[in-house]
């Protein structure tokens, strides 16, 4: 879940615009305490996990290595 400020940064909008969208029902949100929280999947054009097709394979045609997983494995071994 994202705060209004985080959504504003991701969508490159003013936080007040995000609040206006929430009030009008254009952007679904949940109130947690005094703060509105927005599900990442509810953001307009939410395709955050999708990478461009050119990034799936290396220049030689091999699958792209999962660098993040390799770093996590190396850190968990400590």
pLDDT at position 68 is 81
Q: What Cα–Cα distance (Å) separates residue 47 from each residue in 60, 63, 68, 76?
A: 27, 21, 19, 29
pLDDT tops 60 at residue 74:
yes
Q: What is the pLDDT of residues 21-68, one digit of tens each?
A: 999 999 999 999 999 999 988 887 765 556 667 777 888 888 888 888
State how far the Cα of 75 lies from the Cα of 78, in Å rounded to an integer: 6
* Domains of the chain and CATH, by start: 1-48 (1.10.10)
Residue 48, classed as helix, strand or coil, is coil
Task: Tell me the pairing of strands 30-32 and 2-3.
Answer: unpaired
State how far the Cα of 18 lies from the Cα of 49, in Å rounded to an integer: 22
| Of 47 and 69, the one with more pLDDT | 69
Strand partners, 36: 31
pLDDT at position 37 is 95
Report residue 2's pLDDT band, with 50, 70 and 90 as the boundaries. Answer: very high
């Amino acid at each position: 879940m994202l705060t209004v400020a985080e959504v504003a940064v991701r969508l490159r909008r003013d936080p007040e615009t995000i609040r206006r969208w929430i009030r009008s029902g254009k952007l679904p949100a949940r109130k947690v305490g005094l703060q509105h929280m927005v599900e990442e999947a509810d953001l307009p054009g939410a395709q955050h996990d999708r990478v461009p097709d050119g990034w799936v394979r290396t220049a030689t045609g091999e699958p792209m290595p999962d660098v993040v997983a390799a770093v996590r494995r190396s850190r968990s071994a400590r």
